[in-house]
Amino acid sequence: MTYNIARTRSQKRALAATSRGIRSLSLAIAVPVGLTLSIFWFRESDDYKNLTRPFWIPPLWGIQLTSLSMAFLMGLSAWLVWAESGFHRTPMAIVVYLGQLGLGLAWNYIFFNKGPTQTGLVVSFGQLITLFACCQMFSWINPISGDMVKLCLNFVKKRSSKGS
């Protein structure tokens, strides 16, 4: 009888921990993705749509999809770091992550609402630097998380080299 009660308590604790983990994961992903989506709700600039661009420059929907994917991957990688207490052991990691998130949102706002400008290029370089720092810090804490940041780093690197 005592064995069944102890087993039931441990199962309840495990279930509670799992539900807390799922809630924190959904929050870690929903906040960056939601903020990125909220930028798309504003009026889009016609500057990018009306540009004559070579065939290898992606259409607007492709850039929006990539921005959403980056927000998803960064939220997931930040959650993996948080799950391993990485933000407690390395407090600078959350500062760099929040800086990257802010610069990513700023780039989205500048690019999608103001059009491709020099300011967007400067913000893109700033995001490149913060993503590199995130990649380094996250890789020390959780290698899988660092690999996810490398995907985002690759996109921003290509975006910065093409001139925003």
Domain residue ranges in the chain = 2-161
C-alpha–C-alpha distance, residues 144 and 77, integer Å: 8
Q: Which range, 2-11, 12-21, 62-71, is most confident? A: 62-71
Residues 82 and 76: their CA atoms lie apart, in Å, by 10
Which tokens in the block code for residue 73? Answer: 């991957």
pTM: 0.81
Q: How many helices (H) and strands (E) does the chain have?
A: 7, 0
pLDDT in tens, 31-87: 999 999 998 877 666 666 676 777 767 787 888 899 999 999 999 999 999 999 889
Cα 26 from Cα 163, distance rounded (Å): 34
Q: Which of 102, 141, 152 is nearest to 123 (CA)?
A: 102
- Helix residue spans in 42-117 (DSSP H): 46-50, 60-83, 86-89, 91-109
Q: How far is CA 21 from CA 86, 115, 143, in A?
A: 15, 39, 20
Residue 61 has what pLDDT?
Answer: 82
pLDDT at 163: 56
pLDDT mean across residues, the chain: 83
